[in-house]
Amino acid sequence: MSRQSLTAVRSQAGFTLVELAVVMIIIGLLIGGVLKGQELINNAQITSTVAQVKGMDAATSTFRDMYSGLPGDLLNATTRLPDCTAGACSAAAGNGDGRLSTAPGAAPGVEAQGYFVQLAKADVLTGINAGALGTACGAWGQCFPAAKITGGFMIGYTGGGALLTSQVGGTANAVRNGHYLTLSNAPNLAMPATGSITANQASRIDSKVDDGNPNTGSVLSGGATACINGQVYNELNGAANCNLYIRIQG
């Protein structure tokens, strides 16, 4: 066989087993790195969202100490808060009874729309850029802060003893009175019977803030029925089925 023939045979040869093994190892490392990176991002989003919740609770306490009233419900807000006009600060609507007029998960009324706006006007909360209340509340970051994980936060008050809008599972007597942040994907609307986060994400937030049980304590599940399975979050389902109610103030 001529030298030219030997060269042709070599040029047609495939990868060796060693070469294939090296390629498979590299692909495995790349996939592992991507998955690990996604998990690190998910962990960071959950941690940041929990920090947001605690920050809003602290901001509300600071506001109450400063003004002896609840944001959104504050009397005479136009004369007490910097740059607070009636149209963009809910000033005319606050009745000073110490609670918001909107139930958790319901479409926000003017007091609930003004809650985060007044915290921002008092310079104890960032992430709010309100125009006119009502007409300019339809996107996260206007009247309601965006959540680090996805969706955003609204707020409402319940006297307890009744299931909340789109609450999943639980019993009415397990709902404590107080103000609840609602984490959902529908700004300025009632909490939908669909979710914004997965059951795994909801469970991890619940465990960091409360007891990890979707039906009890200060964190309750909302959204689609598939969010939970009895007394636990349905973490085998990877769809975004869950919203959350998070109690921050009495």
pLDDT per residue as tens digits for the range 121-142: 999 999 898 766 666 788 999 9
249 pLDDT band, cuts 50/70/90, is: confident
Percent of the chain with pLDDT over 90: 69
Residues 158-168 have a mean pLDDT of 95
What would the pLDDT profile of 46-79 be if each residue is shown by its tens digit?
A: 999 999 999 999 999 999 999 999 999 999 998 8
Residue 236 reports pLDDT greater than 60: yes
Residue 103 reports pLDDT greater than 70: yes
How far apart are the C-alpha atoms of 81 and 79, rounded to whole Å? 6
Strand 219-223 versus strand 242-249 pairing type:
antiparallel
For the chain, the average pLDDT equals: 88
233 pLDDT band, cuts 50/70/90, is: very high
Residue 224 reports pLDDT greater than 90: yes
35 pLDDT band, cuts 50/70/90, is: low
Residues composing the chain: 250
118 pLDDT band, cuts 50/70/90, is: very high
Q: What is the pTM of this model?
A: 0.84
Residues 145-164 have a mean pLDDT of 96
